[in-house]
C-alpha cells in the first residue's frame, strides 16, 4: 500500500510538471532582417484583466522609417491601422484596444521607408493572436488545482491496482475504492469549480460540447466519460452490490482501467486553455 502511494505521488508530480510545461504560454521572440530593416519583437499573446496591451517593436535603423500596427478583432473582423509612435532609442509603441474577456484579436506590422512599404511582419498575410482573459479567484483556482491533482493521483492509484490485478490476481476491492474517490474529485474539480473558473476567465460558464469546442472543457468531458463507462462495466462492485452485478470479470476490468488511464494521461498533457 505504502509503495503504491509513493509511486502514485511521484507519477502525479511528474505528469503535472510536464502538463504545466506544455500548457505555459510564452511570448515568441521575433528577430529578422529584410530590405535593410532589422525587426525585434516579443509577441503579446494575452491580456488579463482590464486595461490595454502595449505593443512594442524595435526597428534598426529607425531613421526614415514609419511603422503601422494593424489589428483585427475576431468578433467583428473590423480592421484598424494605427500609426506607431517612436519612443526611446529605436522602440516603437502602440496600444491595442480594451476588449471583453473571451474575445480575441490578431495583429501585424507594416514598415515603410520614405513612404514606401518595405516589410510586413509576420510575412505572407499572417498575424499574431491575442486572447483577452478575465481575472480569476485565487481561492477557486487553488481548489481546482487541489481537486484535479487529487483526481489524477487516485486515477494513478486505480491504474496501479489494475496492474496488481493482472500481475498477482489481487481482488478488485482496492481498485474500485480508488476509482470511486477519483471520480468524486474529478467531478467536483472539473465541473462546479471548472464552471466558476471558465466564467471568470472567458465569460461563458461552459464551452464544452454541445455548447462549444473549448479543448479544456471537452477533454474533461472525455476523461469523465471513459471513467463512467468503466464504472458501468463493474457497476455491481462499484455500488457495493457484489461482482455478480458486474458486466465483465476482474481481469477485463483491469484492462479497461488501463485503457481509461492511458486516455486520461494523453488528454491531461493537452495544453490548458486557462
Q: Where does residue 15 rank: exposed (0-12), middle (13-18), buried (19+ CB within 10 A)?
A: middle
pLDDT in tens, 96-115: 999 999 999 999 999 999 88
Average pLDDT across the chain, whole number:
91
Digit-coded pLDDT (tens) for 159-206: 999 999 999 999 999 999 999 999 999 999 989 998 999 999 998 888
- As a CATH number, domain 35-133 is 2.60.40.10
- Encode pLDDT of 82-101 as tens digits: 999 998 778 999 999 999 99
Confidence of residue 51 (pLDDT cuts 50, 70, 90): confident
Instruction: Look at the alpha carbons of 169, 173, 177, 179 in this order and tell me if their dihedral is positive or negative.
Output: positive
Q: How far apart are CA 207 and CA 228, in angstroms?
A: 21
Residue 62: predicted pLDDT = 85
pLDDT for res 20:
78
Residue in 127, 132, 134 with CA at minimum distance from that of residue 43:
127
Q: What is the pTM of this model?
A: 0.83
Q: Torsion angle of alpha carbons 100, 98, 144, 212, nearest 10°? A: 40
pLDDT at position 18 is 85
Alpha carbons 116 and 125: distance in angstroms, whole number: 18
What per-residue string of b and e applies to 107-143 under the rule 16 or more CB within 10 Å gives b? bbbbbebeeeeebbbbeeeeebebbbbbebeeebbeb
Domain boundaries, the chain: 2-23+136-268, 35-133
Quick: pLDDT tens for 25-38: 789 999 999 999 99
Burial (CB count within 10 angstroms: exposed 0-12, middle 13-18, buried 19+), residue 3: exposed
Answer yes or no: is pLDDT of 274 > 60.
no
Amino acid at each position: 500500500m505504502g509503495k503504491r502511494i509513493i509511486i502514485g505521488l511521484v507519477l502525479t508530480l511528474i505528469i503535472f510538471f510536464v502538463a504545466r510545461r506544455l500548457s505555459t504560454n510564452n511570448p515568441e521572440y521575433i528577430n529578422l532582417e529584410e530590405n535593410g530593416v532589422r525587426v525585434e519583437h516579443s509577441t503579446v499573446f494575452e491580456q488579463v484583466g482590464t486595461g490595454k496591451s502595449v505593443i512594442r517593436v524595435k526597428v534598426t535603423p529607425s531613421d526614415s522609417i514609419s511603422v503601422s500596427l494593424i489589428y483585427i478583432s475576431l468578433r467583428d473582423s473590423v480592421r484598424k491601422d494605427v500609426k506607431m509612435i517612436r519612443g526611446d532609442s529605436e522602440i516603437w509603441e502602440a496600444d491595442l484596444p480594451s476588449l471583453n474577456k473571451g474575445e480575441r484579436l490578431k495583429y501585424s506590422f507594416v514598415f515603410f521607408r520614405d513612404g514606401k512599404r518595405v516589410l510586413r511582419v509576420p510575412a505572407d498575410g499572417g498575424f499574431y493572436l491575442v486572447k483577452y482573459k478575465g481575472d480569476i479567484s485565487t481561492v477557486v483556482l487553488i481548489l481546482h488545482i487541489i481537486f484535479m491533482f487529487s483526481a489524477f493521483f487516485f486515477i494513478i492509484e486505480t491504474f496501479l491496482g489494475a496492474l496488481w490485478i493482472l500481475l498477482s490476481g489481487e481482488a478488485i476491492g482496492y481498485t474500485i475504492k480508488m476509482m470511486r474517490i477519483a471520480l468524486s474529485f474529478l467531478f467536483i474539480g472539473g465541473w462546479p469549480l471548472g464552471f466558476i473558473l471558465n466564467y471568470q476567465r472567458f465569460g461563458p460558464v461552459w464551452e464544452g460540447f454541445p455548447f462549444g469546442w473549448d479543448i479544456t472543457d471537452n477533454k474533461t468531458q472525455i476523461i469523465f466519460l471513459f471513467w463512467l463507462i468503466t464504472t458501468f462495466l463493474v457497476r455491481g462492485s462499484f455500488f457495493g452490490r457484489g461482482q455478480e452485478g458486474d458486466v465483465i470479470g476482474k481481469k477485463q476490468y483491469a484492462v479497461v482501467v488501463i485503457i481509461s488511464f492511458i486516455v486520461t494521461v494523453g488528454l491531461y498533457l493537452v495544453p490548458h486553455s486557462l
